[in-house]
A and B are shown apart, each in its own frame.
Chain A
Amino acid sequence: MTVRSFLLRRLVLVVPILLGITFLTFMLVRIGEQDPVAMLGGPMADEASLASIKAELGLDRPFFVQFGIYLGNLVQGDLGDSWQSSERVADEIRNRLPASLELLIFSVLLGSLVGVPVGLRSAQRPNGLFDQVSRFVSLLGFSVPTYWIALMAIFVFFFLLQWAPAPLGRLDIAAFPPPDVTGSYLIDSLISGNWSTAYSAASQLALPVILFSIIVAAPIIKHTRAISLEVLASDYVRYAKAQGLRPRTVRRIALRNSITPILTFIGTELTGLLAAVSLIELIFAWGGMGQWGLNAILLGDFAAVQGYVLVLAVFSVAVFIVIDLLVLLLEPRASLRA
C-alpha cells in the first residue's frame, strides 16, 4: 500500500468517526440540564422573552432538525456562533488554536527531550540512584495537581523572585504581535526579525512551558523506562551483548528498537494534552483554545463545546496519522496495512 492510498483509506475511515463524535457531542450537550436560554435572558427575563431567545437560537426546533441544520452548516465550514462571546466558533478556533499549539508543542518537545533520555538512562541500571531519583520526580509530575504547581510557580518566580513576567498571556503588554505566519508568536517574531517581541514571547512562554513539560515528562519517563527495560531484556540485545559488542553499540541497538513504541506513546499522550493544557491556559490568562473550551463547557455554550470537541477529535486523528507515517519512516518493516 502506498502512502497516498494509506492516507485516502484513513480519511475514509475518519469521516464516520468524526460524524459519530459530532452526533454524540451534539446530543450530550443537549440532554443535560444545561440551557443557555435562561443565562442569555438574564435574571429579569419573562416567559415571552425566554421563548423569543429560544426561537432565536433555534432551540425550539426538534432535535434532529437542529442536528441536520448543524451538519449542513458544518460541511460549509460554519460551526455556528458562540452564545457567550458572540464570535463565530470557526473564528474563535482559528484565533485561539495557535496559542494552545504553541504552548503544547514547546512543552511536549521539552518534556520529550528530558523524559526520553532520563527514561533510557533509568533503564540502564534499574533501582540505581539515578533510577530512584527519576522515578520519584516522575511520580511528583503525576501526582501534583496542575493548577497547584502553576500557582506556586507564579507565586515564587513572578511574585517573590520576579524572574518570570506577569502571567498576562502570550506577550508582555508592551509588545506587538508579530505578522502571522505559523501562529506561534515566538517563531513568527523570529521570522520577522522582531527581536523584542521574540524575547517577550519567549519570556511569557518559559514558565508555563517548563511547568507543562514536567507534566508531560512524567509519563514519558515512566513509559520509556518500561519499554527500554523490555528491550534490554530481549533476546536480540542479550545476543548482542554475548557477541561482545561495546556497551555503546548495545545501547544504540536498544534505542533503535525502543524508539517506535516511545514515539507512539508520545503521540498518544499528545492527543490528550491539548485538552489538559486548559488549566495552564486559565492560570496564565493564555487566551488559548483550552481556556475557551473549558469556559464553554462550564457555561453550556453549545456551539463552542461542539466546535471544541470536534477540533480535539480532528487533532487526535491527525496526530495518529502523522505517528503512523513517522513509524513507517523509522521502521520500514512496518506495514501501512497494519
Chain B
Amino acid sequence: MKKHARLLSGAAVAAVLALGASASHAAENTFIFGAVGTPAGFDTDAWLTGTLETSVNVYEGLTKHGITKDASGRDVIDAATVEPHMAESWTVSEGGKVVTYKIRPGVKSPFGNELSAHDVAYAWERARDRKRVGNFMIRVGRIEAVEAVSDSEVKFTLGTANNIFPRILTTVFPALTDSKVLKENATAEDKWATKWMEKNTAGFGPYHVDSVRPGEGAVLVYNENYFEEKPYFTRVIYREIPSPASRAALVKSGQIHWADQMPIQQLVDLIKDPKVKVDSVPGTGAATLRMNPNFKPFDDVRVRRAINYAFDYDAVSEAVFRGLGERSDSILAPAFGRFYTPAQTYNTDLDKARALLAEAGHGNGLDIQLEYTDNWWWEESLAIQTKDALAKVGINVDLKRIPKTEMNSRRAIGKRDIPFFPHLANAFVLDPGYAFYLSAHSEGSSDVNDYNNPVFDKLVDDLIGEQDLDKAIKLAHDAQKLHADDATFIISDFPKTYAVTVPCISGWLWYQHDRVVWKHLRCDG
C-alpha cells in the first residue's frame, strides 16, 4: 500500500505540473481518475463522453437524499428522505402544488457569485428551451412554472402534487449554473452559452474545470468557495485511457487511483488481485431483454410468457454475470424499499413454455431475431445464452449484432422498430413512479420496446401523484404485477456497480446516477 501511495503521490505531483497547474498546487491531494475518454462537454442537457462523470462533481442540487446504513453497516443513499442542500428550507402550499425554496446563503461558484433564486429560474428556463434531459424532468415532475420570488426564494408551481418533483431537485438535471457567467459567455447565436460549456463550467459544486486537452484528459480543481467541507482531493486529473486492459494495468501498478468502467472480464481478475481494491453495490438498473409487442410474434402475450419461462436464469447468472450480478425479480429494484415487490417475474419452466407456445400456434417451433450491440458489456454473452436457452423449446434465435449508434437511433422515441433486444435503464431519480414512468409508461423515454398499456399508465400516473404512502405502495405493487403479467421484459440480473481503485481509497458512496462523486473519497496509507 505504501508503494502505491508513493507512486501515486509522485505521479499526482507530476501530473499536476504537466497539465499546466502551478507548482503551489502540486502538494495538494490529487486524484487520478482513469477514464474511457476526455470529457467533451459539461452541459447535463447534452450527454457526451465524460459529461455525467464530471458534471456530478461540478453541479449539485437544491436538495439531496439523506444517507443511511445498509445491513452491512455501509453508508447508502436513503431514497425515502430528501434533505436541504443548496436550499436551506422549503414550504409547501396549495395541496402540494406550490413549493417555495429558500436558497442557502453563502453558496458560491468559483467565480465568487452567490447562488440566487434567479440562477435556479435560469437553469429551468434553459432546460425548457433546450428540450432535452431537463425538459424530460419538467414533464415527469409536472413542473408548470419556476419563478424567482426574490433573490433568495424560488417558487415551483406543479400541475399536480407529486413525489418525483422533490427528488428531481437532488439531481443535476438541469444543472444549477452561475447564470451571470453563462450570460457573459452567451452569444446571439448561442443564447444559453452551450458552446462555452463544452470547455468550461460554472457550477456551485465542489469542483470546476481547470483545463481540457482533447485526446489526453482534463484537470478539475476544488471550488475554493464551496459551501460544504473541503474534500480530501482538491485536484482531479481526469486521464483518458481508452483501453480497459491498460486501465487495469495502471491501477494494479498504482499509477492511477481509480479505473473507471471496467468490463467483467477484467473485474474477475482484479477482484482476486491484492494490489487492487474492488468494491461493489447493487445497481438500480436490471439487465433486460425487451420484446416489442407491435411486432409478431411478440404481439401475442402467450409467446412473450413462453419466452420468459424458457429463459435460463441460473445459466445467465453464472455464465454471463459470473456470479457478480444479482438476480432481479421485479421491474423495480430492491433499492426502492417498500415499493419493491419481489418475485414478480418468471422462473425457468420449459414445459410451461412449450405448452404456451403450442397454445399460441407455435408448437412446431418459431424463428425470431435478437439484435444487440456493445452498449453494455453483458449484451453479447446474454444474447448467446438466450439463443441456447430458447432452442430447448424450439425457438430459433437469429443473433444480429448492430452498431451502437444504430441501436440508439432505432430505439429512440418516434422510431422504436426493434422487435427483440437487450436494454438497461437506470432511474436517476429514486422514486418508484419515476422508475416506472421512465421504463414502461407509454410516454417514458426508456419505454424503448413501445409497451403501451393504458391500465399500467394510469397506475403509474396515479402513483406519481399519490401522497398517501400506503396507497402509493399498493399502486406500485399493482404496477409490478401487471407489468410482469404482460411479460414484455425478460428481467435478468442487476449488474452491480464496481469501484476499482488502489487499496488506499476509501469513502466511496454510490449515487443513483452511477457515477463516482469525488468529494467523498480519500486516500489513507
Q: Which residues of A contact B (CB under 8 A)?
A: 32-50, 52, 84-87, 92, 95-96, 99, 151, 154-155, 158-159, 162, 166-169, 171-176, 282-285, 287-288, 291-292, 295, 298-300
Contacts and interface: CB of A to CB of B under 8 A. Distances in A.
Given A48-B131, A168-B255, A154 B246 contact: yes
A221 B165 CA distance: 68
Nearest to A286: B215
Given A283-B243, A285-B246, A299-B405, A37 B48 contact: no
A35 B215 contact: no
A45 B136 contact: yes
Contact of A166 (B41, B49, B255): B255
A50 B48 contact: no
Given A33-B410, A50-B413, A42 B18 contact: no
A92 B214 CA distance: 8
12 contacts: A32-B406, A35-B409, A37-B409, A39-B408, A44-B173, A50-B413, A151-B245, A155-B249, A174-B15, A287-B216, A291-B242, A298-B403
Contacts of B230: none
Contact of A39 (B41, B255, B405): B405
A327 B241 CA distance: 41
Contact of A33 (B173, B406, B414): B406
Contacts of A33: 402-403, 405-406, 409-410
Nearest to A300: B405
Contacts, number: 169
What 5 A-B pairs come out closest when comparing CB atoms? A287-B215, A174-B14, A35-B409, A33-B406, A300-B405
A168 to B, nearest CB: 7
Contact of A168 (B38, B135, B250): B250
A95 B132 contact: no
Given A39-B408, A86-B48, A282-B242, A50 B214 contact: no
Given A49-B131, A287-B216, A85 B246 contact: no
A166 B17 CA distance: 17
Contacts of A168: 239, 241, 250, 255
Contacts of B409: 33-35, 37-39
Interface residues of B, number: 60
Interface in B100-146: 130-133, 135-137, 139
A37 B414 CA distance: 12
A282 B36 CA distance: 10
B306 to A, nearest CB: 30
A284 B404 contact: no
B40 interface: yes
A85 B18 contact: no
Contacts of A86: 40-41, 48, 195, 198-199
A282 B47 CA distance: 22
B98 to A, nearest CB: 25
A212 B372 CA distance: 33
B246 A46 contact: no
Interface string B383-396: 00000000000000
B408 A46 contact: no
Contact of B405 (A34, A46, A173): A34
Contacts of B133: 42, 44-45
A39 B51 CA distance: 13
Q: Which of A37, A44, A158, A159 has the most CB of B within 10 A?
A: A44
Contacts of A171: 18
A86 B218 CA distance: 15
Contacts of A96: 215
B216 A45 contact: no
Interface string B181-200: 00000000000000100110
B37 A295 contact: yes
Contacts of B199: 86
B14 A159 contact: no
A87 to B, nearest CB: 6
Interface in B458-511: none
B253 A32 contact: no
A89 B341 CA distance: 51
B344 interface: no
A88 B411 CA distance: 29
A162 B195 CA distance: 43
Given A39-B47, A39-B408, A45-B131, 5 more contacts: A43-B425, A43-B446, A99-B215, A168-B255, A300-B405
